Every structure is written in structure tokens, then in C-alpha cells.
Structure 1
Amino acid sequence: MDTPTQYRISKLHPSVRAEAAKIESLMIENIDINDGKISLTTKGKNRKVVAQISTEDLKRELQ
């Protein structure tokens, strides 16, 4: 997150700041393909899978 954005967030009410941090923690940073599945993951050390779809399902939907 850039410095101006961090500054604007710091001015928000604490409950709104907490919600912004929660949303930021779910922002997608990586797209991984493992074991026939495409996974969208968050950034950072403790990456979490936000969404996942099998490559076969994706192929079927694109036809």
C-alpha cells in the first residue's frame, strides 16, 4: 500500500481502519497452478487461498 493511502486510512475511525485492514488482507497477490487447480492467494508470508477452480472446470466453462 502506498504512503498516501496509508495516511488516509490512519485518519479513519478505528472500526473502519480494522475493516480496511481485513479487506486488504484478502487482496489477491498471486495466481498459482498446482495439482490441476488455479488458486488465487493473498500476499505476505502467511498466504491464504482466496479462491480456487480446477483447470478442467475452467476449460469446460470456456467452451
Structure 2
Amino acid sequence: MDTPTRNRISKLHPSVRNEVTRLESRMIENIDINDGKISLTTKGKNRQVVAQISTEDLKRELQ
């Protein structure tokens, strides 16, 4: 997130600022394919999987 955006967030009410921070930590940054599964993961060192689907399920749904 850029500096002007961080400055705007810092001026928010603490409860709103916490919610923005929580949502930011769940933003999808990467799409990974491992072991036949497509995973949407967050950014940063400690990536977390937000959503996952098997490639077979995806193929079946696209037919």
C-alpha cells in the first residue's frame, strides 16, 4: 500500500482502521498451482490460502 493511502487510513477511527487492516491482510496476491490444486493466497512472507479448488473440479465445471 502506498504512503498516501497509509496516511489516510491512519486518520480513521480505530475500529474502522482495524477492519481495513484485517481486510488488507486477506487480499489475494498470488495464484499458485500445487498438487493438482489452484490456491489463492495472500501476500507477504506468511502467505495464507484464502481459497482453493482442484484442477479436476475446475475442468468439470467449465465443461
Question: TM-score w.r.t. structure 2 length?
Answer: 0.96
SS at match of 1:19: helix
Q: What is the aligned residue count? A: 63
Gaps in structure 1 of 5+ consecutive residues: none
Q: How does 1:31-46 map to 2 (within 5 A)?
A: 31-46=31-46
SS at match of 1:32: strand
The one-letter code of the counterpart of 2:34 is N
2:47 — aligned with what? 47
| Whole-Å separation in 2 of the counterparts to 1:62 and 1:35 | 20
SS at match of 1:47: coil
How much does 1:3 deviate?
1.2
How much does 1:4 deviate?
1.3
Gaps in structure 2 of 5+ consecutive residues: none
Cα RMSD over matched residues?
0.5
| Whole-Å separation in 2 of the counterparts to 1:28 and 1:4 | 21
Same amino acid, percent of matched pairs: 86
| Whole-Å separation in 2 of the counterparts to 1:61 and 1:17 | 39
| Whole-Å separation in 1 of the counterparts to 2:44 and 2:58 | 27
Structure 1 residue ranges, 4+ long, deviating more than 4 angstroms after superposition: none
